[in-house]
Amino acid sequence: MFQFDTLSLVFVALIILGAIPNLFYSGGYLPHIERKTHYLLHYFTFIFSMLGVVVSANALVFLFFWEIMSLSSWQLILTEPKEKSTINAARFYFLMTHFGFVFLLLFFLIVTNGDLEISFAQMKTVAAAFTYPTMLFFFLILGFLSKAGAVPVHVWLPYAHPAAPSPVSALMSGVMLKVAIYGMFRFLFDVLYPWPLQWGTFILIIGSITALTGILYALAERDIKALLANSSIENIGIILIAFGMGMIFDTLGLTLLSTFSFIAAIFHVFNHMGFKSLLFMGAGSILHQTHTKDLEKFGGLIKSMPVTAFTFLFAAMSITALPPTNGFLSEWMIFQSLLSSSTIAHAMTLKLALPFALFALAMTGGLAIATFVKAYGITFLGLHRSTNAKHAKEVNFLMQSGMILMALFVASLMLFAPQYLHFFDALMVSLGKTSVYAQIFPNGSLQMHSLGVNGGVVSPLILFAALVGVTSLLLFAYKAFNVKTRVHRSWACGYKTSAKTQYTATGFSGVMRRFFNWLYKPEEHTSKQNLAGHETKFSDASYEVKIKPLFEVFIYDNIKRWVNITSYWVYRLAHFEQTRYPAMIFNLMLFILYSYRIFTHEIDWQSILIEMALMLMSLKILVIGEKR
Amino acid sequence: MILYFVTIILLVLIAPMLLSYIKATKMMLLFKRPISIFQGYRDFSKLMHKETIISEETSAITTYAPFLVLSPLLIVMFFLPPVVHGSYYVSFVDAFTITGLISLSTFFLMLLGLDSASAFGGMGSSREAFISALVEPAMVLTIFSVSLMAGDLGVGQAGVNLAQHFPEEHMASFLFAGISFFILLMAENGRIPVDNPETHLELTMVHEAMILDLTGVYLAIIETASSIKFVIFASLFASLFMPFGLEFSAPIAFLIFIAKLFFIATLVALLEVNTAKLRLFKIPNLLGLAIVFAFLSLITFYVLGA
C-alpha cells in the first residue's frame, strides 16, 4: 500500500521541510482566521494527504490521497469566503483539478487493466503492451500539469493561490505544485519508461511557453499574491524545461547529461519550494498588516517591517537567479544542460531549435528581475502610499520565526548545495541512472562543473565569500574614510516628493506593458475632472488598466460558449421528450463503447467507419428526427 | 600571479580615463573645447571630499546598495580573460556567472532608484529593468555562440583559446557575434542610442535618473561602478573579438590591450556622435537586432560551419 523508496523520500523531505516553517507561520496567522476548526482540520488533512500521495504504492491509494489533497486545498481556499471572487476562484479550482483528475483516472484505468491495486512495476508491463503510449503520455501530463499549472491549463492558479489564506498559498504554491512534479517523475520513470524523442521535446516546448507566459503576466500584475502565483507558473516552466531536456538527452542516449538535467530539475523544485514559500509568507505578513493585496497601497514597509523586508529581499534575489543564491545555481545548471545540446550529434533540427528554448529561459530571467524589482521596490521602498501602510507594524513572533526558518532553509540550499546535489544524485541512481556526482564535483565540493563538453564551472561558495568579502572591505573603507553624513529630504530635481509623486507599480511595468501590447491587450480607463475649464489642470484624475489573460479569454471563454450552445441545443431537443432522451443516452453509450474498443484494441478503420455510420444513423433517426 | 593582480589594478585605475576619453573625443568632434582625459579622476576626488547627503525618505537599501552595486563588478574584474601571455587567469568561470554578477549589480541599482521616493528614480528603474530584460537573451546567445567557436564555456579559457587558435573557418558567425556583442556593449553601458549619459532631461534619462539623489562618496562609488562596467565590456570585447597581441612580452602586450580599449572607446564615441538617441520604445528594435545577429551567428555555425 505504501512504499518508501528514494524518490518518495526526497519528496517526503520536501513536504516536511516546506510544512515545518509553515506550521510556525500558520500558528501566528491563526488569530486572523475566523473559522479556526475548519481551517486547522483542512490544513492538517492537506499536509498529510500530500505525504500520502508521495508514499502511495498503488494507483488506488495514490488517487485517494490525490483527491483528498485537492478537496482539502479547495476547502482551504474557502476559509474566508467573504468576497465573491474567492468563491469563484474556489469553484474554478475545483473544476480544473477534477478536469486533471479525470485524465489521471483514465490513465490509471488503462495502465492497471482495471485492477487499481497492482504495483507500479506491474503497471509498466501493462503499459508496454498498450498500443498507444503517446495517448497515455498525454493523459498523464494533462493530469499532472493541470495541477502543476503549465500553459494552457494554468489559468486557475492566479485566482486560487491569492484567494487562499497566506500560509495555505505558501503550501499550495511551494509544495502542492511539486507533488504534481513528483507524479511526473514517478510515472514517467516507473511506468512509461522508454520515451520517444517527441515527448521530451513537447515537455520542453510547454516549459518554455509556460515560463515566458508566467513571468509576463506576473510583470503586469498589481495584486502581490497574484504576482507570486504567476511567478510560480514561470518556475514550473523552468522545471519543465530541465525535465524536458532530461528526457531528450535520455532518448538520445546521453545518459550523463540526462541525469544532470534531471538533477537540475529537482534542485529547482527544492529551490522554488523554499523561496516561493518565503515570498508568500512575506506577502501574507504584508496583507496581515495592511489588509490589502494591492501593490499600489504599499510603500516604505522596510522601515516598519524589517524582518519581512529582508527575508523577502533574500527570496527575491534567489528567485531572480542572482549569484550566489541557490536560484542562480539551479538556473545555471539548466542553462548548462541547454548549452550541452551542442553535443547532440544526429538531430540537427533539434540542435537548431534548442537555442530558442535558451532564448526563452534567458528572457524569463531578465523579466523576472524586472518583476521582482517592482514587487520589492514598490512594496518596501519609498514612502507609504496609503494610511494602512503607514500604520503597519512587524508581524508577531511566530510568523517572523516561520519566515526566518524558511530563509534559513533557502540559505542552506545555497551554502550546502553539494550535499543537496548528492542527495538528488542518489535519487537519480535509484531511478536507474548512472551517478554523476563525481563528475559535477571532480575537485572537491567548491567547484561545480557542467557535464557538457568544455562546459562551464561555477563555485557557489567562493562567489559567496568573494561577494561578502569585497562588500565588507568596501564598507570598512567607507567607515575608515569617516565621511560626514547629513540627512535631508530627497532632492528630486528640486520638486517636493510625496507619496503621490512616486512611481507606481502600474507605472513601473508601463514600458513593458506597452511593448507587449499584443499579448496583454490592456483595457485602459481614464477619467479626469477639469478645473474651471482648464484643459491641463485637474482636481481629480484616475487611470486604470486591466490585463486580459489571453489564454482564458481565447480558450476557456470560447469553450464555455460552445458548451453553452451545445447544451442548449441538447436541452431543446431532448427535454421532456419521451423518445429522444433515452435515444440520446443510447447514442452516448454507443459512443463510449466504441471509444473503449478503439482505446484498448488496434484501430480498425473499417469497423470505425461502420460504427460511425451506425451512430450517425441513430442520431439522425432517433434524436433529430424529421424536420418540423 | 603578480601580473594578474597588477593587470586588474591597472584596469580599474584606467577605467575613469576611458569614459573621460569618450567624452573628450565627442567634444572634439563637435568642435567644442575637449575636457581633459583626467577629468574622471578630478570628479572622483572632488566627490570623495564632499559630505554624503542621505535623503530622509530612504532606508537601509541606500546605505548598503552602492557597495553592492560596485562589489559584483569588482569581482567580475577577476574573471576576465588574461591580457598578457603567461599571466594567471581564472579559467573556469563561465559567462553566466559574469552576466549574473552584472545583473546583481543592476538589481541593486534599480532598488536604489526606487528607494529615494522620487518619480525620477522609479522612472529610471523601470526603464533600466525593461532594457536589461531585453539585453539578457541576446547576451546569453552571443556568449553561447562565442563559446562554441572558442571551444570552452569558461570566459578566461575562451579568450586564451581564441588567441592561440583564431577560428578563421568560423569567420562569419564570429562577425555576427561581434556585431551583437557591440550592440550589447552600447546598451548595457547606457551609451547614446539607448541612453544619454550626459543629459538630465527626464525624457532621455535612464541611468542618471536612478542616481539622481546620490551625492558625495555614494555617487563616486556608483560612477566608479559604471566606468568599471564599461571596462568589463570593453575588455571582454577586446579579448574575445580582437584576440591578438597576447604573445608579446608583458609591458608591450599590456600596452596593446590598452590601445584596444581606447580603440573601442573611439568607436563608441564615433557612434555616439553620429547617431541620435532612440526613443525608449524603439530600443527593442535595436536589441532585437542584437538577438537576431546572435541567432544568425549560432545558425551559421551549426548549418554552414562557417
Residues of B in contact with A457 (CB under 8 A): 92-94, 154
User: How distant is the Cα of B263 from the closest Cα of chain A, in angstroms?
Assistant: 30
| A441 at B interface, C-beta within 8 A | no
A282 within some domain = no
User: Closest partner residue to A511 among B139, B153, B280, by Cβ?
Assistant: B280
| A490 at B interface, C-beta within 8 A | yes
| A616 in the same domain as A520 | no
A503 within some domain = yes
| B305 at A interface, C-beta within 8 A | no
Distance in angstroms (rounded) separating the CA atoms of residues B147 and B155: 8
Domain boundary among A157, A173, A194: A194
Cell of A305: 517591517
The answer to whether residue A628 scores a pLDDT higher than 70 is no
| A161 in the same domain as A132 | yes
Q: What is the pLDDT of residue A127?
A: 87
How does DSSP classify residue A450?
Answer: P
Q: Quick check: helix, strand or coil at residue A487? A: strand
User: How distant is the Cα of A35 from the closest Cα of chain B, in angstroms?
Assistant: 38
The answer to whether residue A454 scores a pLDDT higher than 80 is no
DSSP per-residue letters across A56-76: B-BHHHHHHHHHHHHHHHHHH
The answer to whether residue A599 scores a pLDDT higher than 80 is no
Cβ-defined contact of B71 to A456 (cutoff 8 Å): no
Distance in angstroms (rounded) separating the CA atoms of residues A551 and B250: 60
Cβ-defined contact of B119 to A492 (cutoff 8 Å): yes
| B278 at A interface, C-beta within 8 A | no
Residues of A in contact with B135 (CB under 8 A): 366
| B116 at A interface, C-beta within 8 A | yes
Cβ-defined contact of B119 to A508 (cutoff 8 Å): no
Q: Quick check: helix, strand or coil at residue B224? A: helix
Cβ-defined contact of B96 to A490 (cutoff 8 Å): no
Max Cα-Cα span within chain B: 60
Q: Are B183 and B286 in contact (CB under 8 A)?
A: yes
User: Closest partner residue to A490 among B132, B147, B213, by Cβ?
Assistant: B213
* Residue located via cell numbers 543537496: A420
Residues of A in contact with B127 (CB under 8 A): 511
Percentage, residues of chain A above pLDDT 70? 98
| A82 in the same domain as A14 | yes
A352 within some domain = no
User: Closest partner residue to B94 among A322, A458, A486, by Cβ?
Assistant: A458
* Residue-wise pLDDT tens digits, A86-110: 999 999 999 999 999 999 998 998 8
**A389 vs A32, A380, A611, CA distance in Å?**
18, 10, 67
Residue A32: pLDDT band (50, 70, 90) is: confident
Bridge partners, residue A487, by sequence: B54
| A145 in the same domain as A39 | yes
pTM: predicted TM-score of the whole model, two decimal places:
0.93
Distance in angstroms (rounded) separating the CA atoms of residues A549 and A487: 45
Which residues between 201 and 240 in chain B have a beta carbon less than 8 angstroms from any beta carbon of chain A? 212-213, 216-217, 221
Residues of B in contact with A340 (CB under 8 A): none
Distance in angstroms (rounded) separating the CA atoms of residues A551 and A561: 15
User: How distant is the Cα of A490 from the closest Cα of chain B, in angstroms?
Assistant: 5
Helices (H), B94-215: 95-115, 119-150, 155-164, 171-188, 207-210
Cβ-defined contact of A515 to B281 (cutoff 8 Å): yes
Q: What is the pLDDT of residue A405?
A: 94
Q: What is the pLDDT of residue A80?
A: 84
Provide the domain limits for residue B82: 2-304
Among residues B133, B10, B91, B112, which one has the least CA distance to residue A513? B133
A472 within some domain = no
Q: Which residue of A has its CA nearest to B70?
A: A471
| A101 in the same domain as A134 | yes
* Residue-wise pLDDT tens digits, A73-85: 999 999 888 888 8
| A491 at B interface, C-beta within 8 A | yes
* Residue-wise pLDDT tens digits, A277-336: 999 999 999 998 998 888 888 888 999 999 999 999 999 999 999 988 999 999 999 998
Among residues B55, B106, B113, which one has the least CA distance to residue B225? B106
What mean pLDDT comes out for the span A516-536?
82
Instruction: Please give the interface size between A and B, counted as residue pairs whose CB atoms are below 8 Å apart.
Output: 263
Q: Are A469 and A446 in contact (CB under 8 A)?
A: no
Query: Kind of pairing, strands A534-546 and A485-488?
Result: unpaired
User: How distant is the Cα of B233 from the closest Cα of chain A, in angstroms?
Assistant: 18
User: Closest partner residue to A456 among B48, B113, B153, by Cβ?
Assistant: B153
Domain tally for chain A?
A: 3
Residues of A in contact with B125 (CB under 8 A): 373, 377, 503, 508
Alpha carbon distance, N-terminus to C-terminus of chain A: 59
Q: Is B58 left (phi over 0), alpha (psi -120 to 50) or beta?
A: beta
Domain boundary among A194, A225, A251: A194
User: Closest partner residue to A511 among B52, B111, B127, by Cβ?
Assistant: B127
Distance in angstroms (rounded) separating the CA atoms of residues A279 and A318: 10
Q: Are A359 and B141 in contact (CB under 8 A)?
A: yes
A236 within some domain = no
Which of A371, A490, A514 to mutate to test binding with chain B, by most B CBs within 10 Å of its CB?
A490
| B69 at A interface, C-beta within 8 A | no
Q: What is the pLDDT of residue A532?
A: 76
| B101 at A interface, C-beta within 8 A | yes
CB atoms within 10 A of CB A395: 24
Which residues between 377 and 396 in chain A have a beta carbon less than 8 angstroms from any beta carbon of chain B? 377-378, 380-383
Q: Are A261 and A197 in contact (CB under 8 A)?
A: no
A123 within some domain = yes
Regions of chain B with pLDDT less than 70: 306
Cβ-defined contact of B135 to A366 (cutoff 8 Å): yes
| B172 at A interface, C-beta within 8 A | no
User: How distant is the Cα of B252 from the closest Cα of chain A, in angstroms?
Assistant: 31
Distance in angstroms (rounded) separating the CA atoms of residues A379 and B131: 22
| B133 at A interface, C-beta within 8 A | yes
Cβ-defined contact of B153 to A452 (cutoff 8 Å): yes
User: Closest partner residue to B75 among A299, A351, A467, by Cβ?
Assistant: A467
Burial of A498 from C-beta contacts in 10 A (0-12 / 13-18 / 19+): exposed
Q: What is the pLDDT of residue A276?
A: 94
Q: Helix B119-150 and helix B155-164: axis angle, to 10°? A: 50
Cβ-defined contact of B126 to A358 (cutoff 8 Å): no
Q: Quick check: helix, strand or coil at residue B195? A: coil
A102 within some domain = yes
- Interface confidence: ipTM more than 0.90: yes
Q: Which residue of A has its CA nearest to B302?
A: A352
Q: What is the pLDDT of residue B306?
A: 67
Domain tally for chain B?
A: 1
CB atoms within 10 A of CB A617: 10
* Residue-wise pLDDT tens digits, A374-432: 999 999 998 888 888 888 888 899 999 999 999 999 999 999 989 999 999 999 998 88
Side-chain half-sphere exposure of A530, counting CA atoms within 13 A: 5
A431 within some domain = no
Percentage, residues of chain A above pLDDT 90? 47
Residue-averaged pLDDT of chain A: 88
Which residues between 461 and 480 in chain A have a beta carbon less than 8 angstroms from any beta carbon of chain B? 463, 466-467, 470-471, 474-475, 478
Cβ-defined contact of A456 to B55 (cutoff 8 Å): no
Domain boundary among A194, A221, A249: A194
Bridge partners, residue A486, by sequence: B53
Provide the domain limits for residue A596: 552-624
What mean pLDDT comes out for the span A462-476?
92
Cβ-defined contact of A470 to B121 (cutoff 8 Å): no
Distance in angstroms (rounded) separating the CA atoms of residues A79 and A262: 37
Distance in angstroms (rounded) separating the CA atoms of residues A526 and A115: 61
